[in-house]
Structure 1
Amino acid sequence: MSATQAQRDGAHTPSLPPLTNGPHRKRLGMVAMVATFGGLLFGYDTGVINGALRPMTADLGLTPITEGIVTSSLLFGAAAGAVGGGRLADTWGRRKTIILLAVLFLVGALSCVFAPNFEVMVVGRVILGLAVGGASSVVPVYLAELAPYEIRGSLAGRNELMIVIGQLAAFVVNAIIGNLWGEFGGVWRIMLAVAAVPAVALFLGMLRMPESPRWLISRGRTQEALAVLKTIRSSDRAEAEMADVKHLADEEEEMNLSGWGALKNKWILRILLVGIGLGVAQQLTGINSIMYYGQSVLVEAGFSSSGALIANIAPGVIAVVGGVIALSMMQRVNRRTTLLLGFTLTTICHFLIGIASIALPVGNPARPFVILFLVVAFVGSMQTFLNIAVWVMLSEIFPLHIRGFAIGVSIFCLWIANAFLGLFFPTLVASVGITGTFFMFGIVGILALIFIYTQVPETRGRTLEALEEDVTTGAIYLVHKTPATAAH
């Protein structure tokens, strides 16, 4: 650790009393579990279309372009929800915003279940998108602001784990319902209706959860913030953190670091561009093309429709396994290391899928199983090394007064990239096949590796306040660009 780093960290990290066990740790775990129902809904609502789309197409008379619109309408809604949710969370509070999102999840799910035609389905998907996008920007911030710095990566990363659990749940529900009642009309409505249950659980659960203490401090509600901190920390640790956060919040207020005005600071503008780059690079791996159109990809690879529904569970399972491994690595391995390794592995998988689709032509009995294996390897690499690391970094790299706004803008760009992939992926596969599609993903992966290596700083093992100080002065690019030892 450099002298400069030690001096910067000295004002924050070493002065905090160590974490202790007790009722406050259990309370923190309960808050995290309830909040991550937002991630579960995110995963289910984005993944359920994978198996629901084919029977929905038959019932509603969708064409390839309207299939793409139904899929991507949620994603464009999510882009708007990410920005709107981030701004609302900064002004209205993290907790109240999540409660509102739970209502939108329920309304959107019911609108889709009872949609009589394509137009109503698109409206329902947009409402769901607003909820998904809002959850994607607000829940990680809420968790990061509640978490002690020592376990921030694993706590904030639980939301991404819940996202992939939600996607796996969607794949399993689709496979069971599709194979049991697939011959009945409207089977897709049952698949979509399942999402109403966690939406109600999120709403009722968040009514009993506290507001983010860091947001309360930014609003001058210091006594409320201290009271919340004392429910999730030991008393001496709560008071020490309180002083640390309040000192930096006062400095930010004097500098008028909020909203678009904060971008006058070139270092804050740069970290926002890093956040945008992380989000877009994650999506341009094509991970969500597999999550949304996995059944279609596997049918093209050679599986039957029912076989593809079952085979599609494999990527969902490996995503959850990878997420569990990633959480265990969050506090032990530097963020940059995991990102570089993750993009290397996913890029290799992209090129191998493209090569396999050339080497094993349609009709070759090995083709579907080789491509399924490579898709599973790709999803496993993505979930183990990229997804959780990206979401955790987005939740921790931005200063307090613009945290909701900045993560909202970053995730807006993430969802726009996601939406265009969702909209054009069927057309892309139809025009250039699996081969060309995955070769294109591989080229983008090489560009992402260059971006990560040259632009993304290290954040592991430091308080949000220590990171914030270095972000606003640009020091984070001098002392944290290369992997550093944890500052504790």
Structure 2
Amino acid sequence: MPPPADTRESRFVFKVAIAATMGALAFGYDTGVISGALPFMSTPQSGGGLGLTPVTEGIVTSALVFGAAFGSLMAGTLSDRYGRRTTLMGLSLVFLIGVLGTTLAPSVAIMVAMRFVLGLAVGGASATVPVFIAEMAGPSRRARLVSQNELMIVSGQLIAYVLNALLAHYSQSPHVWRYMLGIAAVPAVLLGLGMLFVPASPRWLASKNRMKEARAVLEQIRSSNRQIETEMAEMIKLNGIDREQGGWSAVLGTPWIRKLLWIGIGLGFMAQFTGVNAFMYFTPIILKSTGLGTNAALTATIGNGVVALIATFIGIWLIGRHGRRPMLLTGLGFVIATQAALGAVLLWMPDGPLKSYAALACILCFLLFMQMLIAPVYWLLMSELFPMHVRGVLTGTAVACQWVFNGLVALLFPIAMAQFGSATFFVFAAINVASLVFVALCLPETRGKSLEGLEKHLEKELAVRA
């Protein structure tokens, strides 16, 4: 006997999510691989490297981040115009161009340019993948399926850390950094191939008034006629309202949508100014300052990836059982505590093995709660908050701001450490207190509603707050 209809539809949507999150896997790998490639790229050109200096190391690293900010904005507009699926297919080509360019780069200037191109794809995927999955998933599955995006990001980072260590240990080639960078072509190709076998988003089709095609897709990804008819009716109704309101630029003058955009930007600030990427980029430097050896400090970077992966699995389980607001508030509470604890350890404990391991424990505890309770919820909210007809462009704008905040943290953290030392972590704790207040006062709950029902709920709730 064939499997029940709901089982078949669940499997189909899961396959769609796997195909789409190849973009997140590429995103994770490309952001993680640079930590292992930089030491080899810093060797002289005669020795197989690019002769990077501390300044050019920073430029090469940050080129991807600032490219991602532009990529998020561009992909948001493109996904509203041409569709989420088509945009992801295009991004797979940009990924491939960026990977090949960085792998074969003969000079620092070309490496920076190609890292920027790679950033366009990373940012575009970060804005498009969660939206595409959310629009394909039903209300009961949306949280867990969208959270697969974060799981694939941290999986990509962990794969990068492990392969970096293995290649550095076993390869004797002076060009080993090129192999590290070149492996990123695999998820890029898988993303493009995967998109050939999945349908377009029914929400995007409806926004273009292609209702027959939208219904055909819903028939593939929903298990009951009642659910199909309900979602079709909601999409048709909202589509009519959107047309009466005009284009997205006119809608941005609507106070409740403008508030949602500011909330989305605020959430990006919250996510990045937890300090998470200060740890992902600079953990070896922090631990070496406590007296830990170089090899031990590099091994701890793999620990970051392992903890992040385990925490994301737990977060996916929790996100199906708890609201977005409670998870964020709880996560921020633990983040504040671990940042303050790390500052105290670095400031007041005497140098030695005990200080090194205490600092590592604080960092790993931070990452556990960050990746379990904050990061997956952030990406889920980016897929839920914004109205259908402007979802791509507003998600792109909010995510682009998140990438700018990412770059600011990466730029300012070494300066802050040089200026304030261990007190930097108390500054992060204070910022996170402000973020906790922001979430408590401003963020509406989004759990348990269809995207169309959520849109009406948010309009009503934010209008009341005005």
Which band: TM-score by shorter chain? over 0.9
Is the Cα contact below 8 Å between 1:68 and 1:422 reproduced in 2?
A: no
Q: Could you tell me how far apart the structure 1 residues matched to 2:377 and 2:41 are?
A: 35
Deviations 1:464-484 (A, max 9, x none): 111111333x425759x9xxx
Please give the residue correspondences for 1:10-89 in structure 2 after superposition, counting only pairs within 5 Å.
21-58=6-43, 59-89=49-79
* Alignment correspondent of 2:440: 453
TM-score by length of 1: 0.90
Taking structure 1 as reference, are residues 87 and 430 closer, same or farther at Cα in structure 2, changes over 3 Å only?
same
Is the Cα contact below 8 Å between 2:256 and 2:463 reproduced in 1?
A: no
Please give the residue correspondences for 1:89-238 in structure 2 after superposition, counting only pairs within 5 Å.
89-181=79-171, 184-236=173-225, 237-238=227-228
Secondary structure of the equivalent of 1:366? Answer: helix
Partner AA of 1:38 in structure 2: G
Deviations 1:374-428 (A, max 9, x none): 1111111100100001110111011001100111110111000101222333333
Is the Cα contact below 8 Å between 2:17 and 2:133 reproduced in 1?
A: yes
Partner AA of 1:475 in structure 2: E
Q: Could you tell me how far apart the structure 2 residues matched to 1:300 and 1:107 are?
A: 38
Partner AA of 2:358 in structure 1: V
Taking structure 1 as reference, are residues 20 and 385 closer, same or farther at Cα in structure 2, changes over 3 Å only?
farther
Q: Could you tell me how far apart the structure 2 residues matched to 1:51 and 1:452 are?
A: 36
Is the Cα contact below 8 Å between 1:51 and 1:309 reproduced in 2?
A: no
Residues 1:244 and 2:229 aligned together = no
Deviations 1:126-153 (A, max 9, x none): 0111001000100000001001011211
Residues 1:415 and 2:403 aligned together = yes
What is the Cα-based RMSD across aligned positions, in Å?
A: 1.8
* Alignment correspondent of 1:14: none
Q: Could you tell me how far apart the structure 2 residues matched to 1:220 and 1:52 are?
A: 48
Deviation at residue 233 of structure 1 after TM alignment: 1.0
Report the count of equivalent residues: 457
Q: Could you tell me how far apart the structure 2 residues matched to 1:350 and 1:155 are?
A: 30
Residues 1:271 and 2:260 aligned together = yes
Deviation at residue 170 of structure 1 after TM alignment: 1.0
Secondary structure of the equivalent of 1:469? Answer: helix
Q: Could you tell me how far apart the structure 2 residues matched to 1:136 and 1:478 are?
A: 32
Partner AA of 1:396 in structure 2: E
Deviations 1:187-240 (A, max 9, x none): 222211111111111111111111000000000111111111111112502233
Deviation at residue 247 of structure 1 after TM alignment: 1.4
Q: Could you tell me how far apart the structure 1 residues matched to 2:256 and 2:108 are?
A: 46
Please give the residue correspondences for 1:454-473 in structure 2 after superposition, counting only pairs within 5 Å.
454-472=441-459
Residues 1:430 and 2:418 aligned together = yes
Deviations 1:310-330 (A, max 9, x none): 221111111111111111111
Q: Could you tell me how far apart the structure 1 residues matched to 2:178 and 2:453 are?
A: 49
Deviations 1:354-373 (A, max 9, x none): 111112344x1222221111
Q: Could you tell me how far apart the structure 2 residues matched to 1:107 and 1:202 are?
A: 14
Deviation at residue 430 of structure 1 after TM alignment: 3.5
Residues 1:289 and 2:278 aligned together = yes
Secondary structure of the equivalent of 1:101? Answer: helix
Judge which range, 64-73 or 346-355, deviates more: 64-73
Deviations 1:429-488 (A, max 9, x none): 33433x13322211111110111111111110111111111333x425759x9xxxxxxx
Percent identity over the alignment? 42
Q: Could you tell me how far apart the structure 2 residues matched to 1:437 and 1:185 are?
A: 37
Is the Cα contact below 8 Å between 2:292 and 2:353 reproduced in 1?
A: no
Partner AA of 1:179 in structure 2: H
Is the Cα contact below 8 Å between 1:69 and 1:423 reproduced in 2?
A: no
Among 369, 386, 396, which residue is 2:374 paired with?
Answer: 386
Is the Cα contact below 8 Å between 1:141 and 1:395 reproduced in 2?
A: yes
Q: Could you tell me how far apart the structure 2 residues matched to 1:84 and 1:173 are?
A: 31
Partner AA of 2:461 in structure 1: A
Residues 1:373 and 2:358 aligned together = no
Residues 1:351 and 2:336 aligned together = no
Deviation at residue 245 of structure 1 after TM alignment: 1.4
Please give the residue correspondences for 1:307-322 in structure 2 after superposition, counting only pairs within 5 Å.
307-322=296-311
Q: Could you tell me how far apart the structure 2 residues matched to 1:244 and 1:259 are?
A: 19
Among 376, 382, 388, which residue is 1:400 paired with?
Answer: 388
* Alignment correspondent of 2:46: none
Partner AA of 1:204 in structure 2: L
Partner AA of 1:26 in structure 2: R
Is the Cα contact below 8 Å between 2:265 and 2:398 reproduced in 1?
A: yes
Secondary structure of the equivalent of 2:289? Answer: helix
Q: Could you tell me how far apart the structure 1 residues matched to 2:461 and 2:143 are?
A: 22
Residues 1:475 and 2:464 aligned together = no
Gaps of at least 5 residues in structure 2 are: 44-48
Taking structure 1 as reference, are residues 208 and 367 closer, same or farther at Cα in structure 2, changes over 3 Å only?
same
Secondary structure of the equivalent of 1:264? Answer: coil
Q: Could you tell me how far apart the structure 2 residues matched to 1:130 and 1:293 are?
A: 23
Q: Could you tell me how far apart the structure 1 residues matched to 2:375 and 2:11 are?
A: 26
Gaps of at least 5 residues in structure 1 are: 1-18, 482-488
Is the Cα contact below 8 Å between 1:154 and 1:327 reproduced in 2?
A: yes
Is the Cα contact below 8 Å between 1:86 and 1:137 reproduced in 2?
A: yes
Is the Cα contact below 8 Å between 1:457 and 1:477 reproduced in 2?
A: no
Q: Could you tell me how far apart the structure 1 residues matched to 2:203 and 2:140 are?
A: 17
Q: Could you tell me how far apart the structure 1 residues matched to 2:463 and 2:328 are?
A: 17
Is the Cα contact below 8 Å between 1:50 and 1:293 reproduced in 2?
A: no
Taking structure 1 as reference, are residues 111 and 425 closer, same or farther at Cα in structure 2, changes over 3 Å only?
farther
Partner AA of 1:49 in structure 2: I
